[in-house]
Amino acid sequence: MINKTKTILRMIKFEHTVFALPFAFLGMMLGSYEVNDTSPTLWQIIWVTLAMVGARSAAMSLNRVIDARIDKQNPRTANREIPAGLLSKVDVWVFIAASFALLFFAAYQLNWLSVYLLPLAVFFLVFYSYTKRFTWLCHVILGVTIGIAPLGGWVAVTGELSWPAFCLFLAVVFWLAGFDTVYATQDADFDQAYGVHSIPGRFGIKKALLIARGFHMGSFGFFVALLFATSFSWLYIIGVALAGLIMIYQHSIVSERDLSRVQIAFFPMNGTLSVVLFLFALGDLLFLAR
C-alpha cells in the first residue's frame, strides 16, 4: 500500500503543485483583503489547500489515464507509471474518485458560489486531456484549467467574482500556456508523426518558441494590470519585475537548436516564479497595501 501510494504521488508529480497552489493562495489573500478587508480564516486556508490538492490530483491522474495509449507510443513518456505497468487504470480511477471527493467536500465547506462553479472546474479538469486530439490550442486550455486556481481562491473567501480576479486569472492562463508550449517542444517530432495536436507540432519549434514568448508577454502585462486594479504597491512591483526576469531567462536558455535545458526552464524556473511572486504579493498585502 505504501509503495503504491508513492507510485501514485510520483505519477501525478505532486511537487508540481507549486505551479498552481501559490496562485490559489494569492487569489485567496487578495480577495480577502480587497473585498473583506481582512485576512482569510485558518479554516478557509485549510479548505482552499485541500480543494487544490484534490483538483490537481484528479486532473493529473485523469491526464495519465486518458493519455496512456499516447504515452506508451512516445519514447519520452513510455516509462510513465501506467504504460510501464506500475499502476493499473483501476488503481488510478479509484484515486481520481477520491481526489474529486476531496475537492467536492472542501468546496462545500466554503460558500455556495464555490459549489455552483464546481461543474465548470470539473469540466476543464476533464476536457483538457482530450484537447490535444483536435486542437493545438491545448496549451491555452491547460492555462485556463490552471487559471481556475486563483479564481477559486478568490471565490472561496469572497463568494463573488470581480475584475481583479479575472486579471489574475488571465495572467496565469498566459503564463501557463507559455511554459507548456516551451515544454512541448520536446515532443514536436512525435506530435507531427502521430497526429498529436500541439503548437510545436503545428508550427514547428522556432515559431512555437516565439508564440510562447508572446504568451509570456501577455502574462506579464496582466500581472502589471493587476497593480492598477488593486491596492498593490511597490513591493508587488518588485515581485512582478522578478517574475518577468525569470520568464526572460527561461527563454534565453532554450532555442530551436538546443532544447537540452527545457526541463530547467520548465520546473525550477516556473516553480520559482510562482513562489517568488506570491511572497512579494503577500508581503505587499500584509505590510504595505493596508
pTM (whole model) above 0.75? yes
Would you give the DSSP letter of residue 15?
A: G
Domains contained in the chain, CATH given = 18-287 (1.10.357.140)
d(CA 60, CA 9) in angstroms, rounded, equals 10
Element housing 130 (H / E): helix 118-131
The tens place of each residue's pLDDT in the chain, 290 residues long, gives 667 778 887 887 776 677 789 999 999 999 999 998 889 999 999 999 999 999 999 999 999 999 989 988 988 888 888 888 888 889 999 999 999 999 999 999 999 999 999 999 999 999 998 999 999 999 999 999 999 999 999 999 999 999 999 999 999 999 999 999 999 999 999 999 999 999 999 999 999 999 999 999 999 999 999 999 999 999 999 999 999 999 999 999 999 988 888 887 777 888 899 999 999 999 999 987 55
Instruction: From residue 5, give the alpha-carbon distance in Å to each of 10, 23, 70.
Output: 9, 26, 24
CB 290 within 8 A of CB 33: yes
The DSSP result for 246-278, as a single string, is HHHHHHHT--SS--TTHHHHHHHHHHHHHHHHH
* Nearest residue to 26 (alpha-carbon basis) of 218, 239, 262: 239
- How many CA atoms, within 13 angstroms, populate the side-chain half-sphere of residue 31? 31
Cell (9 digits) for 73: 507510443
